[in-house]
Amino acid sequence: MKIAIASDLSGFPLKEALAGHLRSKGYDLLDFGIEDADHPQPYYIQAPKVARAILEKKAEKGILVCGTGQGMAIVANKH
């Protein structure tokens, strides 16, 4: 199963932990970042990347991680 994953700066540490765990379990990840804390992207830039990957059948599931989850959910649901 291919899973798309992305975070903003607030969710970066958890995203990295989740990505590592999922890879160790054999999941194929499409990681949209952020790559590191020095190159942050806001939730409204990150959420559409995962939503589009699912809509375009590049991933079967998506995980979005931010500070509260509210912004990511709102933006993703608009796609």
Residue of 9, 66, 75, 76 marked active site: 66
Q: Which residue has the tokens 């998506």?
A: 62
Q: Which residue has the tokens 């890879």?
A: 23
| Rounded Cα gap, residues 25 and 1, in angstroms | 11
46 assigned to active site: no
Tell me the catalytic residues: 66
